[in-house]
Amino acid sequence: MGLVSGTCFAQMGNTVTCVDIDAAKIAKLEQGIIPIYEPGLEEMVLQNHKKGTLRFTTDIAQAIAQSKIAFIAVGTPMGEDGSADLQYVLAVAKSIGQHMQEYLVVVDKSTVPVGTADKVKAAIQAELDQRGVTIAFDVVSNPEFLKEGAAIKDFMFPDRVVVGAENEKAMGVMHDLYAPFMKNHDRFIGMDVKSAEMTKYAANAMLATKISFMNEMANICERVGADVNKVRNGIGSDSRIGYSFIYPGCGYGGSCFPKDVQALAKTAKDYGYTPRILDAVEAVNYDQKRVISDKVITRFGENLDGKTFAVWGLAFKPETDDMREASAITIINELTSRGAQVIAYDPKARHEAESYYLKGNESVTYVDSKYDALKGADALILVTEWQEFRSPDFDEMKKLLNEAVFFDGRNQFDKGRMAELGFEYFQIGV
């Protein structure tokens, strides 16, 4: 999020300095090596770095001295109790207070709980007091609404820009900054700081709720003999509901929905309110990640020794290499814990799986093409709906698989058509 934001601001003519304490990451960026996969990002980074409008450094003092606005865009990982861990946000705030020399607008871009701006303000002020200096500053909330895999487009052509500020001066600075992104229509939404902080969590919680609701409908459909794909078409045609985020599947993952739903629930409980819907959304999603592995176990038995399964897709969604909270992790670990071997293919997330998320799982083999994954496998499991999986060669698939057994965790194909093609085909909610 930080790299995308900085790069897009530079694209609009601003001079941007990206700061990180990881010297190796900064060195790679200076060499044009991008640490994440995001469509369109690499070209934009290289272009603006070459022009000198996008810089990279570990020297926060120098970066602050050259800036009028400082964005805090560090991670807020989930703590053991479900709360957002603010240690990195507050560490940056402390550094800002140690080095700022003149009026500065400090922007919380990270997804943070309601009340974080107050903590950031206090952390900065404590450092200024310790230095014995009086410097005016404002803390602003500007939550991001970027979809991984479409982050550049989302930033350059935003649906809305939400900004929470305490005064007109800070609000004006932010409006001027975002004005070039809203030439056709002013999508700038100004509000108080706490409402802006809440807006991000409310948005993600609503989207996660739609996903879990549809997955619950899928589970009911499967039991009563209905087809959730037809039900989805029936309800999606209602303009009050729409088709977005009502596709049944094997659960949501990523850096936002799981963390933000739990963090919002924790905040509610801290204030004495039991968030029953949020708790249910999380519970449904936890179970949904196990639906596909349960289907495999029902088909092949509890003991999977001697069985090999091909897995198409490791990332939590297409067009990203992000595997945080990915359903593939749960599915693969469940199958291999029962003795199975897994042959996995993903166009972008292989390195993430090998080096971190499935590191140490010696029952997983990685290959470089979707068809290589099928060789000698007893069944195929589709987990991530990458475009290259939408029109495969079904005849080739049947030749390579030991059995024409296909578990589709994203309901990509028609069950009747798959039966005609000779597949034993398992979907969710059908």
* 173, two tokens: 């600075």
List, as one string, the DSSP characters of 346-360: -TTTHHHIIIIITTT
Burial class (CB in 10 A: 0-12, 13-18, 19+), 301: exposed
With 0-12 / 13-18 / 19 or more C-beta atoms within 10 angstroms meaning exposed / middle / buried, residue 321 is buried
d(CA 21, CA 322): 21
- Which stretches of 66-167 are DSSP H helices? 87-99, 116-131, 151-156
On the 0-12 / 13-18 / 19+ scale of CB atoms within 10 A, 22 is exposed
Please say if 18 is a catalytic residue. no
Catalytic residue among 8, 18, 221, 256: 256
3-state SS, one letter per residue, for 83-95: CECCHHHHHHHHH
Looking at the DSSP assignment, which residues form a beta bridge with residue 381?
311, 407
Rounded Cα–Cα distance for residues 18 and 28 (Å): 13
Q: Please spell the DSSP secondary structure of 288-333, one letter per residue.
A: HTTHHHHHHHHHH-S--TT-EEEEE--SSSTT----TT-HHHHHHH
- The catalytic residues are 256
